[in-house]
């Protein structure tokens, strides 16, 4: 049986999603980094969590790492994600990070296009198998 992870994730209950997000926040709070919030017309419309010095898993060199970024659907395609990413890059540069990394799913074309336009490239691929 093959399970499509995106629809399964979308069916997750708000409680499951909230618990997962709380675990992510706890992880990020324990790391050196910054939490960026995007506002538009006085409303919070997006955020980005960047970790300062998460070692690269192969080279073990320090790198900044985007742990999570999201923009409200109603505020997409307005440059908010681009601004969040640019702010995270500026922060990472100020902290002396030689580069910044992030992960994106294969099917998220909009995000992949954003990252490629910002100068990101595919360094490696993570292959998964449902067991």
Q: What single string gives the DSSP state of each residue in the chain? A: ----HHHHHHTS-HHHHHHHHHHHHHHHHTSSEEEEEEEETTEEEEEEEEES-PPPTTT----EEEEEEEE-GGGTTSSHHHHHHHHHHHHHHHTT-S-EEE---TT-HHHHHHHHHTT------------
pLDDT tens-place string over residues 13-66: 677 767 777 887 787 677 788 888 898 998 888 989 898 877 878 788 889 999
Domains along the chain with CATH numbers: 14-118 (3.40.630.30)
pLDDT tens-place string over residues 69-120: 989 989 899 999 999 999 999 999 999 998 899 999 888 899 999 999 999 9
């Amino acid at each position: 049986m093959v399970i499509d992870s995106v629809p399964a994730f979308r069916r997750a209950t708000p409680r499951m999603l909230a618990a997962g997000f709380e675990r992510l926040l706890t992880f990020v709070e324990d790391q050196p980094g910054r939490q960026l919030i995007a506002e538009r017309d006085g409303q919070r419309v997006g955020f980005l969590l960047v970790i300062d010095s998460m070692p690269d898993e192969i080279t073990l060199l320090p790198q900044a790492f985007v742990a999570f970024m999201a923009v409200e659907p109603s505020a997409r395609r307005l440059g908010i994600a681009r601004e969040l990413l640019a702010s995270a890059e500026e922060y990472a540069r100020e902290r002396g990070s030689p580069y910044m990394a992030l992960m994106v799913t294969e099917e998220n074309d909009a995000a992949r296009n954003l990252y490629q336009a910002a100068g990101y490239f595919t360094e490696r691929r993570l292959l998964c198998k449902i067991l």
